[in-house]
Structure 1
């Protein structure tokens, strides 16, 4: 089973930059999007054999998530069971017989960590939500989690210490999630690999110089980790300031 996750930074813009070609070539069972930046009815994007589920932010042109899937779910949930978090279109959960698939677009803490307090509340509530799901059946979480977990997950850790996405609080929250029975799939296969990033600033030729951050993840329940067969970061796929990440798992 193949899964793709991609923060497209505006799906309408990504479609103009080859999104549909990559989608078709990928032939994924699940293709998850973050930061779709649109409202219902603003795009007619369909692929043969796929159903799609969209979660839109109340605010126009902001945030948003989507999942394209070849497999009809048992149930679909939008948000994470806390109303304060459910107005920005940040989460979708699909339920299947043997697992849950959750895609999320984690809030950015903003410059000078102006939104850190809300971000940490989101982290705690998301973790509680995932733990509750995991008590019922295993979970596959994917998306832009807006945190570089360790120093090898970004190019310049010393200069970015306590910047948004690399604050001690955000990193601690990610560690805590993993401690609740989850595995970072990429690090499972590549525990010490450096230079593997999924996001690059549009400034300073960051992508050309590979001065990036790994902030896009597949995180799976520990009980599924032995079923994973591979992960990938598709750094050469353009169309967004993020690139797609992938997981293959034998379910």
Structure 2
């Protein structure tokens, strides 16, 4: 599984920084407020010993303060009433993100992209949720000398992916400390949209939205300095296919 750093006590640390000790689980505050409508958010930090093999180095989880932004929590254990949001359900969802699971579109599932007031989603699905977590861990490896497990972050080694007349190269360099560059090519002129998403499934950048000429390799870049360090996905959508690839950005 995923180990979190904890000294067994309390901390006065109240600033989100998943790359520093200790890992914290906190409610938001005036200095670090969650965006409007957000119930919780998990932050992952990544580290490497050689610049090629990356692993999750830390996790911070932040929840909305009870009673703020019209949010009232049900801290259980009873069923959640219509007036409230279930804290256990949201916490389970964020722990899923800590395990590097992304959003899905399946109402009632733990990793569904949203949750409604009055809803309880407290049980892991053995086929989808547990198998998904096991799949992430299955990509892990460890090095001699007590190195923490290296948890796969979804970086694809395949240099080029082709699908229904759309092809997208792997980002280079990856991880990127300054700029990550990749190319997109379509076999015929068509509308193409290129977006960048964080691990919570939120769009953080739009790199392109227009018509691309056919048979021409278009180079696009992601500025690592524009975003916090972490794992991101760039999604290229054409008229007949969509391809999503991963990149780690470090500042």
What TM-score, normalized by structure 1, do the two folds share? Answer: 0.25
Greater Rg over alpha carbons, structure: 2
- The structure in which a higher percent of residues are helix is 1
With the length of structure 2 as denominator, give the TM-score of the two structures: 0.25
